[in-house]
Structures are given as C-alpha cells and as structure tokens.
Chain A
Amino acid sequence: MTTSPYWNPRHETFSREETQALQVHKLRRLLRWTIDQVPWQAQRLKEAGVEPDSIQSLEDLRRIPFMTRDQWMEAQLADPPYGPFLAAPKEAAIRYHMTSGTTGRTPIRVLDDLKDWEWIAEAWCHGFWGFGIRPEDTVFFAFSYGTFVGFWGAHYCCEKIGCLVLPGGNMTTAARVRQIMDMEATVVCSTPTYALRMAQEAKSLGIDLAKGPVKRVILSGEPAGSIPATKQLIEEQWGAKAGDTAGMTELGTIMMFECEHQPGGAHIIENHFIEEVIDPDTDEPVPYGEMGERVVTSFGRGFIPILRYRTRDFVVKVPASRCSCGRGWDIYEGGIRGRVDDMKLVRGTNVYPRAIEAIVREFPEIDEFQIHLYTADGIRDEIEVLVEIPNQDVEREGLLARLDTQLREAHEGLRIDVKEVETGSLPRFELKAKRVKDDRIVIGGSGEKRES
C-alpha cells in the first residue's frame, strides 16, 4: 500500500456520489460543533434557519450565510485579538499565525491545537504525495519561517512523509542555492517568483541548476504557479517538474494541488473541504467551466470553524475526469486565476496582473517586471510595464515592440507603454510578489478619488 500513488486511496478514488455523501455527513458534524461552541456563528445560523439535521444534500449548503473577510476583520477588531470565532479555549492552542496582509489592513489571526496542526500537515500530504514526493526525497524550503503560515504545514508534511527536510530560513539567496546543490536537494519549495529569483542567482554564481539534483519544485503563494509560461520558465531553469498548490491562512493549509499527471489544473482536496464557485455579483453558483469566486467550507480546523467563506479568488472548476490520475476530486483548471481585488480599471478596460504576467513570461529574456499605474495630467489613468533585460546581446527594439503588441491585443487595444529599466532596479521578492505599483490619484475616468 505504501506504493500507492494516493495518500488516502479510498477517499481520493471515491465516486462523485461518495465524495458528496462524505461532505454532507461532515457538514452536519461541523454545524453541530460550530453551533455548540461558537455563539457568534450559532446566532447567524439560527437567523438563517439552519440546523444540522436540516442539511440533506449539498444543495442545502446554500442556506448557510456567507462569511466575508471584512466580517472577520471587523469582528476581530471589536473583540481582539482573535474575534468571536474560537471554538476551543485558547489554552488548547499550540500555534499562532496571521495573514501576510495581501488584502486588507488588519491581519487575520488564527490559532491551532495539536490535532489541527497535524491536520494542516495532512492536507499538504495529499498534495506532496500526489506530486510524487516520497520518503527518500530531500526537501529544501526557501521560506522565512515567520508568523505567515506559508510553507509551515508543508514542512511538517515532509517530516510526516519521512523526507529529509532542509529548513532554509534566514539565508541569503546565494546561500540557499549553494545549500540546495551541496545537500543534493531533490525537491525545492518556494513561491514562483522566488524560484525564478534563485535561478537568476544560480546563473550569477555560475551554477547550472538544470544539471543539478532537483527533480521537483513545489510552488505556492502566488497565482503564477499555474500560469503556463511562468511554470515553463521555472521548469526550464531548474530542469525539474513544477507543481502548483494553493492555500490560505484562514484555512491553515492548502485546499488544492497539482498531481503528477498535471492535467492543466489542481485537484481540490474534497475530503477536507467543500469548494463552491459562485458569481461574485449574483451569489449564484456557476457551472463547470465558467469563472467564478471560490467559496470554501473547511472540515479540518476545529479551532476556527469555516463555513462558506468568500475567498475573493477567481477559479474555473472542471470535472475530475479531466485528469487521468484516477482521483475523483474535481479540478481548478489553471489554478487560482486571480483575485477579485486584483482587477484594475484603466480607461474603462479591466486589467488583471496575472494576464499581464502570462504575456511577459513568454519572453524569457525578461528577468523581472513591474506594472506601474499612474495619473497623467491630473486626470488620466496610464499604465506602463517596466522590464529588466539583463543580457546586453538581446535585440531590444523588436522585443519591446512584440511585447507591446501582445499586451495591447490582450487588452482590447488599451495603450500599455513598455519600457526597459536598469537591471536590478526593480524590487525582488521572497514571499508573495507585489509587482503592481499603483500611484494613481484618480481612479477611472469619473474623477473618483482614491480612498487610500
């Protein structure tokens, strides 16, 4: 059985009917626990007329009210430091983590106990085992090991699997690259941005990563892990397979992973989560194949029950049959497609940073880039893409013109200036990259002032 390609063979090969029966059963159990332990949630559920035994199918899930990040932050501010969400006394907790602050001003603070922490690693195990990580692997974590949960759960997952773990916190990029080579790491975990950063550093050190020991790169923390051009670049530079994962501090762990068969998307870990996809404007569910917002219900973290949490992530769900791996778990095609909050409106055109990155990464000559928005003449939105091209032998004019054309064609003819900047002048990132610099003083064409 230890040769199984699945971490939990029975759950992972369930039929859709079996998976849904499991989810309904766990949902009732979660509701009982939540109503008993969390008065704030119990009140909301009572007002919505939701009782555990009234849940007969996943259709009934829709009667449960949504929970938003704003609600979480407001309730946390009103009842600091954790808000009214804890289902167990904080004396039972062994870990504290907080959000990285990508969205919103107030970080979300979470606690876990021993059992939840093991569960967090368990969810990661589905992903790592599914991507082919085994006890004989040596896994390097290019991760800062702070209060941002990041790869913490993955670290414990690797210990659980039996890998040799190399915790690469508090090291320079050069030291990390050298350790990966010296210790013959077979797996590297990092954000997509930092995987490229390490590849740049290796080049400057005269190290050819593609001829090195690394066979797999596990990506997380940014949507770029599922952008084909970015992934291809990482795979070429590392000479390794790159697999995407995605998680959230609010869940403590990952809820999707790419399996070894790499069907162009990531499987949803459906024995631990219910993932709905809805139209963010109407709140109605969208069918397979259509883009919508992820809404998550989590069965694992008992300390903070999560019911129908609006994630603001854009995804496209497709059936499990899209993949040949044998799992019965549905797939988010193309991973996380972006965030509702990421969208920028520039002279009436929607601009998504992920879409720009997908184009920029088609040009391997470009090392780093930044999307800069600013106000011209006090009234007009402008957008420019700043790029670094370190190789002096590259023919600039043609490359910049081709990039300009592709960006324009992908954005309804929107004028997007493309400019080369000095190599090394743009910021580099270890965790979540922030490549959008919005210096506008006026949003859109209506003269609406920025709030912050």
Chain B
Amino acid sequence: MQNWMGYELNEAEKGLVECYEKLASILQNEGEQLAPFEKRNALKALACLWQIANGLDMDPGQIYNMEIE
C-alpha cells in the first residue's frame, strides 16, 4: 500500500489504515444497526484513526456526514 507521495506503508501502518477504512465503511453503511455505545465509541475511534490516515498522507477525506444522527 502506497500513499499519494509514493511512500510504501509498512505492515503496521497498512493495518491501521485498513482499520480506518473498515471502521468508516461500517459507520457509513451499517451505522443504523449500532447501539449508541457502539456507534459513538466507533466515531471517537474513527476521529483518532483519521489523524493516522492523514499523517500518512492517505487522503482520508471528511467524515462529518457520519457524525450526525
């Protein structure tokens, strides 16, 4: 997995970016199935993982639409 600058992510970094993508996908597509404690904690985790994806130059986009009930 490479970022837009051509930097090759190591296995640990790749795993974290995949976590971010998976979490974003769940919240985007299956968020309605989640209990309050599941959804709000997942959103908080997503906000932290966003910082990693951003710091690795993976263009994580914006996530505001997932944060509205």
Contacts and interface: CB of A to CB of B under 8 A. Distances in A.
Nearest to B69: A91
Interface in A205-254: none
A60 interface: no
Given A114-B43, A114-B44, A22 B62 contact: no
B46 to A, nearest CB: 8
Interface string B22-51: 000000000000000000000110111011
Contact of A115 (B7, B50, B59): B50
Given A29-B59, A91-B68, A302-B62, A10 B7 contact: yes
A33 B51 contact: no
B14 to A, nearest CB: 15
A114 B67 contact: yes
B47 A114 contact: yes
A344 interface: no
B17 to A, nearest CB: 14
B55 A89 contact: no
A18 B57 CA distance: 12
A115 B63 contact: yes
A207 B54 CA distance: 46
Interface of B is mostly: helix
Name the interface size band of chain B: 20 to 34
B48 A118 contact: yes
A87 B64 CA distance: 9
Contacts of A89: 64, 68
A119 B51 contact: yes
Contacts of A302: 62, 64
A205 B44 CA distance: 44
Nearest to A302: B62
Contact of A8 (B5, B55, B68): B55
B62 A88 contact: yes
Interface in A65-106: 87-89, 91-92
Interface residues of A, number: 24
Contacts of B54: 119
Given A118-B50, A119-B51, A22 B64 contact: no
A372 interface: no
Interface in A98-132: 113-115, 117-119, 122
Contacts of A115: 46-47, 50, 62-64, 67
Given A29-B59, A33-B62, A88-B62, A113 B50 contact: no
A22 B51 contact: no
Given A11-B55, A115-B50, A118-B48, A92 B5 contact: no
B47 A92 contact: no
A80 to B, nearest CB: 22
Between A10, A18, A21, the greatest number of chain B beta carbons within 10 A of the residue's beta carbon is seen for A10
B63 to A, nearest CB: 6
22 contacts: A10-B7, A11-B55, A18-B5, A22-B57, A25-B4, A87-B64, A88-B62, A88-B64, A89-B64, A91-B69, A92-B64, A92-B67, A92-B68, A114-B47, A115-B50, A115-B62, A115-B64, A118-B51, A119-B50, A119-B54, A122-B51, A271-B55
Given A114-B46, A114-B67, 18 more contacts: A11-B55, A18-B5, A29-B59, A87-B64, A88-B62, A89-B64, A92-B64, A92-B65, A92-B68, A113-B47, A113-B64, A113-B67, A114-B47, A115-B46, A115-B67, A119-B50, A122-B55, A302-B64
